[in-house]
Amino acid sequence: MLPKGARDRFAALLGPGNYLDQPDDLKLYEYDGGVDKHAPDLVVFPRTALDVSHIVKLAREYRLPVVGRGAGTGLSGGAIPREGGLVVAFARMNRILEIDLEDERAVVQPGVVNLDITAAVEGNGYFYAPDPSSQRACTIGGNVSENAGGPHTLAYGVTTNHVLGLELVLPDGAIVETGGKECDLPGYDLTGLLTGSEGTMALVTRVTVRLMRKVELVKTALAIYESGEDAGRTVAEITARAITPVAVEMLDGVMLRMVEEATHAGYPMDASAVLLIELEGLREQVEEQVEQIREACLLCGAREFRVARTAAERDLLWKGRKNAFGAVGRVSPTYYVQDGVVPRTKIAPTLRFIAEVARSSGLTISNIFHAGDGNMHPIILFNPRQAGDLEKARGCGEAILGYCIEAGGSITGEHGVGMEKNELMARQFPPETLEMMSRLKLLFDPEGHLNPGKVLPTGRGCLEIRQQPLTAGTPLL
């Protein structure tokens, strides 16, 4: 609940049409792409960094939690106001401020949609490399917050590899800049530190990103398997041959059938798994590598190896991959998607473990993931109206992430920790490391009012690191 007088002061600050406070409107901001929910007390729509600064200062005065939000496509609860309070929605800060093709840079506001950057420069032979599956909807501010990846992470890296500078509003309202268009500025890499900090240290109000030139040739291939384990072994075989495709995506049989029925992209309905493999670069190099990968796939048991003959065929294959999550909705009322990472050599045993988790829980789990870097995305199908299903789905997710840690991997590769995985951080890191992270968080946000209850553990247990929830209503002295 908002403290007395707070709503009127925000209304006076922002003006009509720039905030929401009615229960029906607030419900639209209580969820993201995950399974958790919590409604805010107020949603505000800034247009400038100065607006954000004034909003943060007023929120601080009333000790209101502040949560930044982009498009709400996140999958770990990062944009959910866990303690209520204020959601700062960046939908109206959506302009591309500058395109500098000579220096291969673009400067954008946080509400710019990911794919819109490429759309603005592709006519000149450039593109923006990070490509989350939700790139038609997700925003750059959210990508920076979660350090988003995508299918082409294998060759190009994640968001932090393409962010050069940030403008930020700190929890006291100060507007600061880190990095910039220049390369390798001296001093601490604050841009790198804050990219992936999930809105717990600052709110991003401007982003400078790297643009890249389009390559000479792109080839996309589909390898079809009777066994998911054979597909998993192929990834290790490709790596052993010192070939780095720009993308290696795997879809299992359950996912294949859902995707093909929804998109008619040309995936085989009777296969147990496929690998979607993309290569790009100089013509001679790409054509040679296609043949090496064909050999690797057939050696590991692929029954068929197809190469897309036209750009339209390639686009259709990727349409199936990028629209996969939407295809699940035709089959299941909802789903719970995970984001663990394992070494590439552990993909096959991880798939076996996921299959065992599915059998023991009685839930269907399909797999679609970035096989090239071991970023697993098991999708747990469940019915929230079925008593106990949500709890079973959460239990499956925790078991899978625990296995990923034991296999030498991580609890997240691109979705972030958020409120979904923060208690698992104590299994990922020793107490000393978590204590250091906590001190960094408090250095930026000593009063703990930026996105509380995220990233770091909050529950009781052997760990003595805590995030103290705020009590709204008592102004700061």
* 226, pLDDT greater than 70: yes
Q: Which has the closest alpha carbon to 60: 25, 11, 102, 9?
A: 9
Q: Which residues contact 275 (CB under 8 A, 6 or more apart)?
A: 222, 223, 225, 231, 234, 235, 248, 249, 250, 297, 302, 371
End of a domain among 406, 422, 453?
406
Please give the structure tokens belonging to residue 20.
């929401």
The domain in which residue 278 lies consists of: 217-326
The reply to whether 141 and 85 lie within a common domain is: no
- Which CATH number fits the domain that encloses residue 205? 3.30.465.10
> CA-to-CA distance for 131 and 332, rounded, in angstroms?
26
The reply to whether 115 and 166 lie within a common domain is: yes
Residue 105 maps to a domain: yes
Please give the structure tokens belonging to residue 168.
């930020």
- 99 pairs with which residues across the strands? 106
Residue 476 maps to a domain: no
Q: Which of the four pLDDT bands, split at 50, 70 and 90, describes residue 183?
A: confident
Across residues 160-185, what is the average pLDDT? 95
- Which CATH number fits the domain that encloses residue 242? 3.30.70.2190
The reply to whether 256 and 229 lie within a common domain is: yes
Q: Which has the closest alpha carbon to 456: 190, 170, 201, 204?
A: 201
* 326, pLDDT greater than 90: no
The reply to whether 347 and 272 lie within a common domain is: no
The reply to whether 186 and 110 lie within a common domain is: yes
Across residues 153-165, what is the average pLDDT? 96
The reply to whether 224 and 208 lie within a common domain is: no
The reply to whether 156 and 180 lie within a common domain is: yes
Please give the structure tokens belonging to residue 135.
């790139």
The reply to whether 178 and 133 lie within a common domain is: yes
The reply to whether 127 and 184 lie within a common domain is: yes
The reply to whether 209 and 223 lie within a common domain is: no
The reply to whether 199 and 130 lie within a common domain is: yes
43-57 tens-digit pLDDT: 999 999 999 999 999
The reply to whether 150 and 259 lie within a common domain is: no
* 422, pLDDT greater than 80: yes
End of a domain among 356, 386, 406?
406
> CA-to-CA distance for 120 and 106, rounded, in angstroms?
10
End of a domain among 148, 183, 213?
213
Residue 114 maps to a domain: yes
Residue 241 maps to a domain: yes
Residue 439 maps to a domain: no
82-138 tens-digit pLDDT: 999 999 999 999 999 999 999 999 999 999 999 999 999 999 999 999 999 999 999
Please give the structure tokens belonging to residue 80.
């959910």
- Which CATH number fits the domain that encloses residue 61? 3.30.43.10
Residue 427 maps to a domain: no
> CA-to-CA distance for 199 and 141, rounded, in angstroms?
10
288-317 tens-digit pLDDT: 999 999 999 999 999 999 999 999 999 999
* 281, pLDDT greater than 90: yes
241-252 tens-digit pLDDT: 999 999 999 999
CA 317 vs. chain centroid, Å, equals 22
Q: Which of the four pLDDT bands, split at 50, 70 and 90, describes residue 463?
A: very low
Number of domains the chain is built from: 4
Residue 416 maps to a domain: no
- The larger pLDDT score, comparing residue 475 to residue 422, is at 422
Residue 466 maps to a domain: no
